[in-house]
Amino acid sequence: MNDSQVKSLVNVLLNSAKSKKSTKNQNSLYTFHYPEPLLRFISRVNETIRCSPCCYVAALMYMDRITELNQQTIQIDFSSVHLLFITSLLVANQFIDDKPERSLQYASLLNMSVVSVEMLKTDFLFRIHFHLLFSDKEFEAYTDRLNWNQIEIPPKVTDLVPRVTRSFDSTKSSLQ
């Protein structure tokens, strides 16, 4: 990402955080008062991780999904934005760019253990019900939200994943 894209991403994240007030019943797993300003943090993430720009777009989609599906326990605010974003970026990076070795880099960015980062990722995936796919239209809407005009839409992930069907009479799944 270039500097203008980083600033655009930070503005979207800050606007999301500003629009929410912190609640006492927020899940403590994602509540983390990170001392680094968000712009510096995202710039450092961008320099360290080097994932494709579409991962940043997908990370925003995943952040919205986790907050929509868990409205009573998770909100994007100033105490959760760093950790929610980095966790959603890790999920996007591993799913879209297929970079499983990155957990150590994410852990070092957060000054956390790899086990803690993996625990966050696992919790995140369960909370979004492993819903990682997105449509071209959804991707374009988030790209427009970021004002990123030059970004390419990733190939359709749905074409790469075999469909799984489940019979009501059986607990066995079959691939089609």
**pLDDT tens digits, 27-38:** 456 656 666 888
Provide the pLDDT for residue 34. Answer: 63
* Mean pLDDT, rounded, of the chain: 77
Query: In terms of pTM, does the model score above 0.85?
Result: no
Environment class of 64 (CB within 10 Å of its CB; exposed 0-12, middle 13-18, buried 19+): middle
Q: Which residues contact 88 (CB under 8 A, 6 or more apart)?
A: 58, 59, 60, 62, 63, 66, 124
If you count them, how many residues does the chain have?
176
> Which residues does 44 contact at the CB level (< 8 Å), separation at least 6?
36, 109
